[in-house]
Amino acid sequence: MLCIKGGKLVTPAGINERDLWIDGEKIVSGEGRGGRIEVYDASGCLVFPGFIDAHTHLEMDNGVTVTADDFPSGSAAALAGGTTCILDFATQDRGGALRDALDRWFRLAEGRSYCDFAFHIAVTDWNPSTKGELADIVRRGVTSFKVYMAYDNLRLTDEQMLELLKATRELGCITGVHCELGDEVNRRVREELSAGHMDVKYHPLSRPNEVEGRAVRRLMELARESRSPVWVVHLSTREGLAEIRAAREKGVAVLVETCPQYLTLTEEVYIKPDFEAAKYVCSPPIRSREDKSELWKAIKGGEVDIISTDHCSYNFAGQKELGRTDFSKIPNGLPGVEHRPALIWTYGVCRGKITPVRMAALLSENPARAFGIYPRKGSLEPGSDADIVIWDPQFRGTLTAVKQLQKVDYSPWEGFALEGRARAVFLRGELCAENGRIIKGPCGRYVPRRATWRKH
Ligand code: DUC
Ligand code: ZN
Ligand code: ZN
């Protein structure tokens, strides 16, 4: 038995100082069967349920290069920062089967992951055999899918998306969508390049707010027509938010996700000199100060459900540099899986934007509920997995890539002040990370998920 004493537990009912008991891999209600009791002193700290990152891309091949983080490095970084479970995207090859993508991701993760893991499947090729595979995939514990509206090598047509939404709805699943209109992005990129605009600063100009807004509008229409729940991944704009509001009023079931980069950075990053700006190339791009503050307001008002990272890391040297003379060749994506809790704590909780209780909802309980793993994950109640973060609010430090476990040569938040960190991280009852360092593992296990989206 383990007893975590003296900490303040962050639960949906509020923050309470009480003991937390653990027996083996589970949280229990009290001392129970007795025996030897180990005590962990959490005085002065908050006790959170392990954080869940519902949006990561580890060992992902974008067709030109492979992400810098693999499962060992990405999951170790996650765990060290307080994230005990990640949901990674197993991406279908065009012409390939969903089951092959899932098999491949199992091979990548099993025995190599430091935190627990689950998968969504990104569907890039919709045909009759894809549809026929869905039920099997759900039986293997994958109950959410993802579709891209942009990226020519990944996207589906609206018609294919509609069919997929109808089919996944029948299975009680939710589908996430990357909302940027691919044709519009392509046209704008072409226009910039033919005008000789090769610099990084043209990346955000080729993907303006309305390209997201209109894509969200289209998705809301498809969701309404299919009566399927949908998940807007990495929302970045006021325009997208307005479409979601309007759709919710009409009864569309939509889950909203945003990411730390859209909450802590602004578009000025794209005018950094010496190609530094390439470090911030992601899609959708980093937006304006106004978008950032609207997103925080939406978080405060309960309109955003989850904060994930979209962790998709590429080294500056050798990878981001592929686009030195052509911004459209810069691989898209930012690292973040290690620092999400500390960033949201510092720039959300410490700045008075959200409470610790809301942070626990956005980073743990809500993703657990949305993706069919609650209350096994996302809860500090008896019966839940003992995934626990002892959070030290006294810690003061500076985020720097030199110290990170992410296997990437920079951080978009280099030099940012941090005002708290995970002092200890328990994964299913085992102390696996302390003060940003891994002390045990890889012990991560697959978490099969239930299909929880009832038809409405
Ligand atoms: N956007 C990114 O920036 N990276 C990964 C995939 C995506 O949609
Ligand atoms: Zn995306
Ligand atoms: Zn993504």
Would residue 409 count as lying in a domain?
A: no
| Dihedral pair phi/psi, residue 335, rounded to 5° | -80, 160
Would residue 450 count as lying in a domain?
A: no
Which of 31-35, 49-53, 215-219 has the weakest average pLDDT?
31-35
Distance CA 214, CA 208 (A): 11
Do residues 58 and 31 both lie within one domain?
A: no
Check residue 357 and give its pLDDT: 98
Closest to 26 measured CA to CA, from 2, 56, 61, 45 = 2
Distance CA 285, CA 189 (A): 14
Check residue 35 and give its pLDDT: 83
pLDDT band at residue 90 using 50, 70 and 90 as cut-offs: very high
The answer to whether residue 456 scores a pLDDT higher than 60 is: no
Question: At which residue do the structure tokens 């027509």 appear?
Answer: 225
Ligand 1 pocket check: which of 207, 261, 283 to mutate, most ligand atoms within 8 Å of Cβ?
Answer: 283
Q: How far is the CA of 103 from the centre of ligand 2 (A)?
A: 22
Q: Which CATH number belongs to the domain containing residue 424 in this structure?
A: 2.30.40.10
Which of 274-278, 394-398, 452-456 has the weakest average pLDDT?
452-456
Which two three-digit tokens encode residue 362? 């956005």
Specify the residue with its C-alpha closest to ligand 1, atom 7. 283
Q: Are strands 388-392 and 421-427 parallel, antiparallel or unpaired?
A: antiparallel
Q: Which residues of 309-342 are buried (b: 16+ CB within 10 A; e: fewer)?
A: bbbbbbbbeebbbebeeebbebbbbbbbbbbbbb
| Model pLDDT for residues 39-69, shown as the tens digit of each residue | 999 999 999 999 999 999 999 999 999 999 9
CA angle 255, 258, 259 (to 5 degrees): 145
Would residue 448 count as lying in a domain?
A: no
Beta carbon of 308 within 6 Å of any ligand 1 atom = no
Check residue 30 and give its pLDDT: 87
- Nearest-atom number in ligand 1 for the CA of 150 is 8
Check residue 455 and give its pLDDT: 62
Beta carbon of 332 within 6 Å of any ligand 1 atom = yes
Q: What angle, 0 to 180 degrees and rounded to 10, lies between the N-to-C axes of helices 289-300 and 238-249?
A: 30
Q: How far is the CA of 12 from the centre of ligand 1 (A)?
A: 32
Do residues 276 and 385 both lie within one domain?
A: no
Check residue 295 and give its pLDDT: 98
Ligand nearest to the CA of 178: 2
Distance CA 447, CA 433 (A): 20
Check residue 20 and give its pLDDT: 98
Would residue 449 count as lying in a domain?
A: no
Do residues 9 and 133 both lie within one domain?
A: no
Distance CA 237, CA 203 (A): 16
Beta carbon of 178 within 6 Å of any ligand 1 atom = yes
Check residue 249 and give its pLDDT: 98
Check residue 388 and give its pLDDT: 99
Would residue 62 count as lying in a domain?
A: yes
Average pLDDT for residues 254-274, to the nearest whole number? 98
- Nearest-atom number in ligand 1 for the CA of 148 is 8
Q: Which CATH number belongs to the domain containing residue 279 in this structure?
A: 3.20.20.140
pTM over 0.85: yes
* Count of domains forming the chain: 2
| Model pLDDT for residues 293-319, shown as the tens digit of each residue | 999 999 999 999 999 999 999 999 999
Do residues 366 and 268 both lie within one domain?
A: yes
Domain assignment of residue 237, given as a range? 51-370
Average pLDDT for residues 427-453, to the nearest whole number? 98
Say whether the peptide bond before residue 72 is cis (omega within 30 degrees of 0): no
What is the torsional sign of CA 207, 210, 214, 219?
Answer: positive
